[in-house]
Amino acid sequence: MEETEATARRPRLDDVAADVGVSPATVSLVLRGVPGPSAGTRDRVLAAAARLGYRPDRAASVLASRRSRSIGVLIDVSNPFHGQLVEDLHEAADRHGYDLVLSTVTRSRDERRAEETLLDSRCEALVLLGPEAPDEKLTALGRRLPVVVVGRPVRSSGVDVVRAADDDGVAEAVEYLAGLGHRRIAYVDGGPGAVATLRRRGYQRAMRRHGLADHIQVIRGGRTEGSGAGAAHVLLVEEPIPSAVLTFNDRCAMGLIDTLVRAGVDIPGRISVVGYDDSPVARLAHIDLTTVSQNTEELTEHAMRALIERLEGGRIEDREVVVPPRLVIRGTARPPHR
């Protein structure tokens, strides 16, 4: 069947306006979420746009406004927590009328190259997920365009920060384990970096606060399953072995648990384990990991609001938002074995 001109071409703003019986300007206001049109008009415009298959011409919009309405996101593909953040960041950006451009850090692609890709893509602002760049480099980047760092504290001028209270999250886990009756509570460290430092200090302070300073044990670790496996081998030669272990993140907890179980150690019967991040794998029924959630939805919504305040509101002063974490109790922690 031969297509007519109306069905062959892409639906335009004028087509939606004609279908509803309003002006193209009114349709534009509705689709951009601008106040003015009544609720009834909005419903009819949105229904007509969906029925006709209308989608805004993004290229034309960029040319007309000289704005890309794109937010660049730096992401480490090896970090599953970053995947959660990006998913929630997509939803937050969409609610505010922005799109995301992702640029990845891999084994062969460092942060500098990933940032250059985002700058070349005409992004209006950047969201950097747990960057390792020093503060002075972040300051230089913040002079070029609005930047929000998610997940770690920074002392950079012109850069906003949105992060979880990492020390409080670990402290809450220590408090929970101490409440169950554990005294020998070890901690598998996350290596160098600001976030690892905060979590380590949170563990040490909480142990002292609960009168457990003599039982403080920080085991060298890292951010991967291999780091957790290495920490497990350290624990297996100890006597007596700790009754509970906190880990820097969930990946580390997985490696720890796998190695201990293979060695015949019952989890949580002999050792309780608590992770950090509340990653998707932690929620699987056969894992059921007790862990600390960083509330990714709240982190990403604050990140988008911070960028919009700079892009559209003209804010120039720096801002740091600290989101309280939340302990998620599952099946890998119980009172100590007697």
* Total count of domains within the chain: 3
**Interacting residues of 98 by C-beta distance below 8 A, sequence separation 6+:** 69, 70, 71, 304
- 3-state SS class at 274: strand
- Specify the pLDDT at position 52: 86
C-alpha dihedral (4, 10, 12, 17), degrees to nearest 10: 50
252 and 205 inside one domain:
yes
In a domain, 333, yes or no: no
- Specify the pLDDT at position 210: 97
287 and 187 inside one domain:
yes
In a domain, 179, yes or no: yes
Q: In this structure, what CATH number is given to the domain that contains residue 125? A: 3.40.50.2300
257 and 318 inside one domain:
no
47 and 10 inside one domain:
yes
In a domain, 335, yes or no: no
178 and 129 inside one domain:
no
- Specify the pLDDT at position 184: 97
Question: Rounded distance, CA 157 to CA 144, Å?
Answer: 12
Question: Rounded distance, CA 33 to CA 56, Å?
Answer: 13
305 and 286 inside one domain:
no
In a domain, 208, yes or no: yes
Domain that includes residue 319, residue range:
66-164+295-323
274 and 206 inside one domain:
yes
In a domain, 78, yes or no: yes
24 and 94 inside one domain:
no
In a domain, 221, yes or no: yes
Question: Rounded distance, CA 121 to CA 114, Å?
Answer: 11
- Helices 13-20 and 24-31 cross at an angle (nearest 10°) of 110
In a domain, 144, yes or no: yes
132 and 112 inside one domain:
yes
- Specify the pLDDT at position 7: 44
195 and 266 inside one domain:
yes
Complete DSSP assignment for 20-55: HTS-HHHHHHHHTT-S-S-HHHHHHHHHHHHHHT--
- CB-facing half-sphere around the CA of 176: CA atoms within 13 A: 24
DSSP state of 151: S
51 and 25 inside one domain:
yes
155 and 191 inside one domain:
no
In a domain, 331, yes or no: no
Per-residue pLDDT of the chain (338 residues; tens, 9 = 90+): 444 444 456 788 888 889 999 888 888 788 777 677 888 888 898 888 888 888 765 545 544 446 678 999 999 988 889 999 999 999 998 888 889 999 999 989 999 999 999 999 889 999 999 999 999 999 999 999 999 999 999 988 899 999 999 999 999 999 999 999 999 999 999 999 899 999 999 999 999 999 999 999 999 999 999 999 999 999 999 888 999 999 999 999 999 999 999 999 999 999 999 999 999 999 999 999 999 999 999 999 999 999 999 998 889 999 999 999 999 999 999 999 87
